[in-house]
């Protein structure tokens, strides 16, 4: 099943702003933002364009609302107790697990966020916010290195990009209801921080 199919699953129009936003996100994922017209959106929602404009000023407003939802969830993770207390490594683990859980909960919105390329004002804003998030993760990695929880020599900015890339790749294959979905945040976190190779009796990673 493709991410386009996942986008279409978000469409459950009932006339309210929330359901219309779901329709728009599904269309943006399926068609691409630039190729989607207000006619396409109103047809998918089963309402007139004027009814759509009653809730949103236009296509850019819909995109902005969708990106705000995804980024709001992402930055909200940084304010959770698990991300603000404890050792740097424990906080990193909490954030990574939270990112996976957010992706599961808001799959279409996160998918759309990961597809923006900076072609509009809202897309450029979203990219800047993603860079700001990565910078905070890089700072946390640096703390973990200084605390001896991550080996010396790890480049914090590179590690932050790798962590984001690993988590974001889940968008490409995760689908709601698939086996293992309930434990996916914990499973991904364990793979990231404990690896996939078995440890020997002394606690060292076998090679």
CATH 1.10.357.10 at 3-194, yes or no:
yes
Angle at 119 between CA 113 and CA 125, to 5 degrees: 55
Of 113-122, 178-187, 197-206, which range is least confident? 197-206
Of 41-50, 123-132, 155-164, the range with the highest mean pLDDT is 123-132
Predicted local confidence at residue 122, as pLDDT:
97
Q: What is the pLDDT of residue 10?
A: 41
CA distance readout (Å), 65 to 68, 113, 123, 159:
5, 11, 11, 30
The greatest distance separating any two alpha carbons of the chain, rounded to the nearest whole angstrom, comes to 68
Residue owning tokens 């434990």? 183
User: Whats the size of the chain, residue-wise?
Assistant: 207
Q: Counting Cβ atoms within 10 Å, is residue 78 exposed (0-12), middle (13-18) or buried (19+)?
A: middle
Q: What is the mean pLDDT of residues 11-23?
A: 70
Cα–Cα dist 74/76, whole Å? 5
Task: Determine the pLDDT at residue 16.
Answer: 72
Q: Which residue has the tokens 């929880």?
A: 149
Comparing 205 with 126, the larger pLDDT belongs to 126
- Tell me how far the alpha carbon of residue 51 is from its chain's centroid: 30
CA distance 141 to 159: 7
Predicted confidence at residue 115, as pLDDT, reads 94
Task: Map out the domains of the chain as residue ranges.
Answer: 3-194
Which pLDDT band holds residue 52 (cuts at 50, 70, 90)?
A: confident
**pLDDT-derived band of residue 105, with 50, 70 and 90 as boundaries?**
very high
Report pLDDT digits (tens) over 112-122: 999 999 999 99
Q: What percent of the chain has pLDDT over 90?
A: 75
Which pLDDT belongs to residue 8?
43
């Amino acid at each position: 099943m493709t991410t386009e199919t996942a986008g279409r699953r978000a469409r459950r129009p009932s006339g309210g702003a929330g359901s219309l936003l779901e329709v728009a996100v599904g269309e943006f994922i399926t068609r691409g933002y630039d190729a989607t017209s207000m006619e396409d959106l109103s047809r998918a929602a089963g309402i007139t364009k004027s009814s759509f404009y009653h809730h949103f000023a236009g296509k850019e407003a819909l995109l902005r609302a969708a990106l705000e939802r995804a980024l709001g969830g992402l930055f909200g993770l940084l304010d959770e107790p698990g991300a603000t207390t404890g050792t740097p490594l424990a906080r990193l683990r909490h954030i990574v697990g939270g990112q996976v859980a957010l992706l599961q909960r808001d799959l279409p919105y996160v998918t759309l966020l990961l597809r923006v390329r900076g072609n509009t004002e809202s897309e450029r804003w979203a990219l800047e916010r993603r860079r700001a998030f990565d910078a905070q993760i890089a700072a946390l990695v640096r703390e973990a290195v200084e605390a001896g929880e991550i080996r010396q020599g790890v480049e914090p900015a590179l590690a932050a990009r790798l962590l984001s890339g690993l988590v974001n790749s889940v968008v490409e294959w995760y689908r709601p209801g698939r086996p293992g979905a309930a434990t996916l945040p914990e499973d991904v976190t364990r793979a990231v921080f404990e690896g996939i190779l078995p440890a020997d009796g002394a606690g060292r990673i076998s090679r």
